[in-house]
Amino acid sequence: MKRFNFILTIVLLLLPITSVQAVEPLAVVVNKANPVDKMTRSELIDLFMGKYVAFPDDNKALPVELKGEHDIKVHFYQKLVGMPLSRVNAYWSRLRFTGRKRVAILQANEAELIDYIIANEQAIGYVPKSLITEDLKVVYILNE
């Protein structure tokens, strides 16, 4: 019984640490040379959900995302459109079935996503706020 209480205490102590990390604000970022300085939530929804393929200034936009069911991707879509990633994926499946293609560039991890945005003026993506560098420009912050 003492062992169980010890393990339970450790688990309970670790839970707040995990929760704090999970709610770190996400920043939507572009290349620092991109002329767009700010975007609205509505503009981001239109861009990441495929309604538009350009920034508000009509320059082409290349959404960059993390592959698969990455925690940051799950959190991003939940905060942006209020849907679980499974519903977002189902939405894109329906669009593909009707002949529309997804334009998002997929990257394996945050470092590759950031590198892609730094190398491409048209790229836009999302990263935890703590990973923002001087080569990125923040156009929107989620859950702040």
- Confidence (pTM): 0.79
Query: pLDDT for 37-62, tens place per residue?
Result: 999 999 999 999 888 889 999 999 99
Grouping H, G, I as helix, E, B as strand and the rest as coil, residue 37 is coil
Which DSSP category does 54 fall into?
B
Mean pLDDT of 122-138: 96
Query: pLDDT for 11-37, tens place per residue?
Result: 444 444 333 345 689 999 999 999 999
DSSP H or E run through 26: strand 26-31
Q: Are 115 and 133 a contacting pair, CB within 8 Å?
A: no
Q: Are 5 and 11 a contacting pair, CB within 8 Å?
A: no
Can you give the pLDDT at residue 140?
97
DSSP H or E run through 7: helix 2-22
